[in-house]
A and B are shown apart, each in its own frame.
Chain A
Amino acid sequence: MKKVLYKMPESLTGKEFTYCPGCYHGIIHRLVAEVIDELGIREKTLVVSPIGCSVFAYQFFNMDGTIAPHGRAPAVATGMKRARPDLYVFTYQGDGDLAAIGTAEIMHAANRGEKITTIFVNNAIYGMTGGQMAPTTLLGMKSTTTPYGRKAENDGYPMHMCEFLKEAKGVAYLARTKVNTPQDVEKTKKAIKKAFLAQVKGLGFGMVEVLSTCPTNWGIDPISAGKWLEENMVPEYPLGIFVDKVGDEE
């Protein structure tokens, strides 16, 4: 007897990803798509794509969508959700998008308890613009705009968005995960599912920060990038569940 073990999620169009080798966007896209499939909400979900490497996300997700201006995805998603509370809305944002130019929008959307879901991909660098410093760039880390390494006295400290957002009362689910091992992929999928369930159940704002890689702009190979993430990013950005008002998964 034949059994399907693995197939393209219906929530993906099947268009080939345009990401660099070793970048985790592809894994994260797939996890989001699997979760939407499992919840059976594809036909009622809107995707808000960001600026940056994942600007093409709307081409990969098989659902109605738009691209928000840089950093404004939570505001765009708020407008959608307020106009159509019967639909499900998620934003997909990088660290430059969410933690720099869009800090105000994410803080206020979270604080209002906006019933939207945010997938926050943190790779500690600006990708598409060519490897400049992000708010999440680690101290000492080299980028094209921190050629001598990020210095706190000049550039400030790495931004910890989960730690900031966990105090916001409108947040229903908040977690930081990674996807560099199969076990982490499973954990991230569970977290993404809960972040969507926070919306489906009408509990409030849900966000998962996924630590990710940028071999191209980090200037290392994909295998080393996963190792570098583990050794350098995880100590700076501790993994964990910061807020969970969703309860046990059904």
Chain B
Amino acid sequence: MEKVMVKGTEAIGEAAIRAGCRHFFGYPITPQSELPEYMAKRLPEVDGVFLQTESEVATVNMLYGAACTGKRVMTSTSSPGFSLMMEGVSYMACAKLPAVFVNVVRGGPGLGDIQPAQGDYWQATKGGGHGDYRLIVLAPSTVQEAVDLTVLAFDLADKYRTPALILADGLLGQMMEPVEFPEFRDLSTLPDHSDWALIGAKGREPHIVTSFDIDPYKLEKMNLELVEIYKKIEENEVRWEEYKTEDAEIIITAFGTIGRIAKSVVDMARKDGIKVGLFRPITVWPFPYKPLEELANKVDMFFDVEMNMGQMLEDVKLAVKDKRPIKFYSRMGGVVPTPTEILNALKEEIRR
């Protein structure tokens, strides 16, 4: 299939449509407004529904309602907008509603700025909303990967009846790259949710979709059902990329955009005779603890690089378990480090 030059945000939108998504609800926020704009133009062409909502709070609840009917649904936003959606995400996770969220992360906390950052890692992987729940969180590092992971996000959301999140950032959203799109999914082949979806109680008992039970024993049962789902996801859906790790003495750990920059750092370091490899989680939940731990048995040191204050660093530490030293380099507030800056920081750590 032919490759086309596409902007990250628009590529995610097109991938969603090809994955069978026909319902998009969203509210503009920089740096991802091109995604709702793309959907506003594109969805009517495929008999889909685009609705610009009055707020992110309304957005997530429209998503909730549309997902209740068993359709593939999606929204996109950026950090402050995703914070506003958190209540609804918690409701959807508990109500076992499949949906795809895209968070094109910007500088934070608070209003922050509109430049790329990774400060929403904790919110994405450890909660954000209230209660015990998890999201499948996929962190692409190229526009092509964003396309592939968007399709995967819909399939995983449907398979496990849970919301999935594409955790991108402003850089990935705004950059243009050549992309190969998948074929259009035949809507008639999408998963049949008629066993639970709200589609009218004709000739059967009513279907009830809720995140609620006043009886604590019944609610605990609902919680335990979620635990079972999350266990299955952890068993089956861990994804990561390794680059030049076979003979590496130092492993850079990085996700998303910075994972891509780190790849250049690996090549530059090797030219300087330093044996560096890259470990890039693709699912940041479930986090690839085991494969990272296996690397800890073989290498001398880890160098975690992030555009936040060290949020994934905690998961890296959980995986490496004090077996090897872990150094950390970060930039924040929307500053994207250059490969040279990262390499210099790495050399500094080696000298110590």
Given contacts A58-B210, A63-B206, A64-B198, contact A104 B68 (CB under 8 A): no
Q: Is B13 an interface residue (CB 8 A)?
A: no
Assembly CA distance A59 to B23 (angstroms): 29
Assembly CA distance A246 to B168 (angstroms): 48
Interface members, chain B 180-236 (any A CB < 8 Å): 198-203, 206-212
Q: Identify which of A72-80, A139-147, A218-226 touches chain B.
A: A72-80
B57 touches A84 (CB 8 A): no
B200 touches A46 (CB 8 A): yes
Q: Identify which of B59-67, B100-108, B113-121, B317-325 touches chain A.
A: B59-67
User: What residues of chain B lie closer than 8 Å to A58, measured between beta carbons?
Assistant: 206, 208, 210
Q: Could you say which of B61, B199, B209 contacts A72, with CB atoms under 8 Å apart?
A: B61
Interface members, chain A 34-52 (any B CB < 8 Å): 42-46, 48
- Chain A, interface size category, equals 20 to 34
Minimum distance in angstroms from B191 CB to a CB of chain A: 15
Assembly CA distance A43 to B209 (angstroms): 16
Minimum distance in angstroms from B1 CB to a CB of chain A: 30
Interface members, chain B 57-83 (any A CB < 8 Å): 57-59, 61-69, 71, 73
Assembly CA distance A59 to B206 (angstroms): 9
Q: Is A245 an interface residue (CB 8 A)?
A: no
Chain A CB within 10 Å — which of B63, B203, B212 has the most? B212
Q: Is A87 an interface residue (CB 8 A)?
A: yes
B201 touches A64 (CB 8 A): yes
User: What residues of chain A lie closer than 8 Å to B59, measured between beta carbons?
Assistant: 75
Assembly CA distance A10 to B53 (angstroms): 35
Assembly CA distance A61 to B208 (angstroms): 11
Q: Is B49 an interface residue (CB 8 A)?
A: yes
Q: Could you say which of B23, B203, B206, B210 contacts A67, with CB atoms under 8 Å apart?
A: B210
A82 touches B212 (CB 8 A): no
User: What residues of chain B lie closer than 8 Å to A69, measured between beta carbons?
Assistant: 61, 64, 87-88, 91
Q: Could you say which of A68, A77, A84, A108 contacts B199, with CB atoms under 8 Å apart?
A: A84
Name which residue of chain A comes closest to B51, CB basis: A82
B62 touches A76 (CB 8 A): yes
Q: Is A62 an interface residue (CB 8 A)?
A: yes
A68 touches B58 (CB 8 A): no
User: Could you count the A-B residue pairs with CB atoms below 8 Å apart for me: how many are there?
Assistant: 125
Assembly CA distance A82 to B95 (angstroms): 20
Assembly CA distance A44 to B69 (angstroms): 12
Chain A CB within 10 Å — which of B65, B71, B95, B208 has the most? B65
User: What residues of chain A lie closer than 8 Å to B201, measured between beta carbons?
Assistant: 42-43, 62-64
Q: Is B54 an interface residue (CB 8 A)?
A: yes
- Chain B, interface size category, equals 35 or more
Q: Is A122 an interface residue (CB 8 A)?
A: no
Name which residue of chain B comes closest to A46, CB basis: B198
Chain A, residues 101-129, CB within 8 Å of chain B (1/0): the string is 00011001000000000000000000000
Q: Could you say which of A42, A45, A75 contacts B61, with CB atoms under 8 Å apart?
A: A75
Name which residue of chain A comes closest to B92, CB basis: A69
A68 touches B49 (CB 8 A): no
Q: Is B338 an interface residue (CB 8 A)?
A: no
B54 touches A76 (CB 8 A): no
User: What residues of chain B lie closer than 8 Å to A105, measured between beta carbons?
Assistant: 54, 57-58, 61
Chain B CB within 10 Å — which of A13, A46, A59, A68 has the most? A46
Q: Could you say which of A13, A42, A63, A78 contacts B51, with CB atoms under 8 Å apart?
A: A78
A79 touches B65 (CB 8 A): yes
Q: Is B55 an interface residue (CB 8 A)?
A: yes
Chain A, residues 66-103, CB within 8 Å of chain B (1/0): the string is 11110010011111111110010000000000000000
Name which residue of chain A comes closest to B64, CB basis: A76
Q: Could you say which of B63, B88, B208, B211 contacts A65, with CB atoms under 8 Å apart?
A: B208
User: What residues of chain B lie closer than 8 Å to A76, measured between beta carbons?
Assistant: 61-62, 64-65, 68
B71 touches A83 (CB 8 A): yes
Assembly CA distance A119 to B49 (angstroms): 26
Q: Is A55 an interface residue (CB 8 A)?
A: yes
A-B contact pairs, 14 of them (CB 8 A): A43-B202, A46-B68, A58-B206, A64-B200, A72-B58, A72-B61, A75-B58, A79-B23, A79-B67, A83-B71, A83-B73, A84-B69, A104-B55, A105-B57
Closest 9 CB pairs of A and B: A79-B65, A75-B61, A79-B62, A79-B66, A76-B65, A83-B66, A72-B61, A43-B202, A64-B198
Not counting A46-B198, A65-B198, a sample of 8 additional A-B residue pairs whose C-beta atoms are within 8 angstroms of each other reads A61-B206, A64-B206, A66-B68, A68-B61, A69-B61, A80-B66, A84-B199, A104-B54
Where the two chains meet, the residues of B that have a C-beta atom closer than 8 Å to any C-beta of A are: 23, 25, 49, 51, 53-55, 57-59, 61-69, 71, 73, 87-88, 91, 95, 198-203, 206-212
